[in-house]
Structure 1
């Protein structure tokens, strides 16, 4: 899950107050295996989405091979400005800001974290 929020940068221009407001409008995950995933939302946990663990989501990516990968998330920001107490005015385009790269270790395992077996507890992890 990526995290970004509305940010306002304030200052003075020509002796008058000026502000620029940046609002997150999109997210792009860049994977070192060449894949990209884009979303209008930052993603969320399976629990928050009301999904079972390991369910596909709008921000999921499946690697073809085990290994070490790098993932970078870029947040697309829309910008607006106001000067001297005026209303907000939009600025055309978006600004992409990349977060720090994260290392991901991908492996293949058999899930054994179950309470009882999958016949007795079909809702358990790994079932």
Structure 2
């Protein structure tokens, strides 16, 4: 369960997220739709450590709905929701970190660190 799922329909942003996560030591699986990611995850009994998804995606599932479905089956999964649009707080699932685009590498690393290592402040 030491891997992350990245769902982003923009290939350049998806590659950037994957590269950053790999750089900080996480294994990744990436998808361009939440539908494909959920289909894959349903075959994995332990789920994954972290999901990072954009809100606006191609396919039937949007990011927030995907996160809710993942957390329903694997409640301990950490989650980050990104969006280039302003999202109402009610859209962001409980215990999910929201990152507005454009975000920086430090923003993403800080968000991941805060979720996966909350007892070790970023930069310490």
Q: Choose between structure 1 and 2: higher strand proportion.
A: 1
So what's the TM-score if we normalise by structure 1?
0.21
Choose 1 or 2 for highest CA Rg: 1
So what's the TM-score if we normalise by structure 2?
0.22
